[in-house]
Amino acid sequence: MSSKKTNLALDKKLLMQIANYLKEPYPYYYNNQHRLILVLLLISSLSFCFSYFFEPFIVNVAEHKIGTLWILFIHAFMPFPIAYVYFYLIHKTVKNEMNWTFGKEILNLSIILLIIGIANFLIRDFIYNNPDNWSLQYFWEEIRNTFLVGFLLLAIVLPLNLERLITKHTTSLKKLSPKRISETNNTIVSIKNAGSTENIELKIQDFLYAKVESNYTEVYTMTENGIHKVLIRITLKELEEQLKPYARVFKTHRSYLVNLNAIASISGNAQGYHLKLQKGTFKVPVSRSTIDDFNAAYSKK
């Protein structure tokens, strides 16, 4: 009995570790259409070369309705429009890229592989002269073969990329030597609010961070009664311009401005950094593209 309990405890611990690993933040790569197209073209080209040079699957040339090269080309490049349309639709539903995780990346890529496998099955009649094209055997084979090709990406490339980015960003954190620079005491900025004739008075030393919210910007400040939020009809870029004279206000992400003096702690993950601010549980992201500039600004004397 004790052996069974031990095994159950180990199995439960392993499942928890896997679940936590799948919840790890992961970079969201699908917000740039040009980059997405280039990546998909690269993957299709590599898939074609892999199938051409290594011939991983047994084929019966006598069944081919078209040339082998054309078949390899179709199987390699047909996934391109499928993946592109899928990620285009996914991008329309993703409201917060910070919530993208390793598990979501694995799940969505697996769904794409499944769709590609089904598509490969549906076009068999156009490629192969085989009376059993519509059999369950070939349905299973097309899906299996698609996942075998995608296994390298799902089981090797993605975990390696996750660990690479985590290591890179946590190592970068160790090199930081933060310097606290106080702005002029009680400096007050008058922020123009497009949604009102009245301006918003913002005390720089109380400013925590600002966040894009639809057509507005949420501004968070510290007060005697806790954290205060005000909604301003202004773009983040316009707010950034108005706060430009203040060295400790920094744009960490395309949707966030933060007061560097308000940072309580920093942690690294595959997406970049996460900043925990004073007097709250706020988590503000530092995107991978701004890490070098953030390091310089945060350590600036």
Q: What is the CA radius of gyration of the chain?
A: 26
How much is the pLDDT for 195? Answer: 61
In this model, does residue 247 exceed pLDDT 70? yes
Q: Can you spell out the DSSP letters for 20-40?
A: HHHTSB----TT-HHHHHHHH
CB 285 within 8 A of CB 301: no
Burial class of residue 6, CB neighbours in 10 A (0-12, 13-18, 19+): exposed
Region of poorest pLDDT, from 30-39, 52-61, 101-110, 283-292? 52-61
Q: In whole numbers, what is the pLDDT of the chain averaged over residues? A: 86
Query: What's the mean pLDDT in 173-199?
Result: 70
Share above pLDDT 90 across residues of the chain, in percent, rounded to a whole number:
44
User: Tokens 């069974």 map to which residue?
Assistant: 4
Q: What per-residue confidence (pLDDT) applies to 273?
A: 93
- Classified by CATH at the fold level, domain 188-298 comes out as OB fold (Dihydrolipoamide Acetyltransferase, E2P) (2.40.50)
Does the pLDDT value for residue 83 go beyond 60?
yes
pLDDT band at 228 (very low <50, low <70, confident <90, very high): confident
Predicted pLDDT at 2 = 61
pLDDT digits (tens, 9 = 90+) for 27-81: 999 988 898 999 899 888 988 888 888 776 677 788 889 998 899 899 889 999 9
Range(s) within the chain of domains with CATH label 2.40.50.1020: 188-298
Per-residue pLDDT at 193 exceeds 90: no
Asked if 98 and 25 touch (Cβ cutoff 8 Å), the reply is yes
Q: Which residues contact residue 166 at a Cβ distance below 8 angstroms, ignoring those fewer than 6 apart?
A: 24, 268, 269, 270
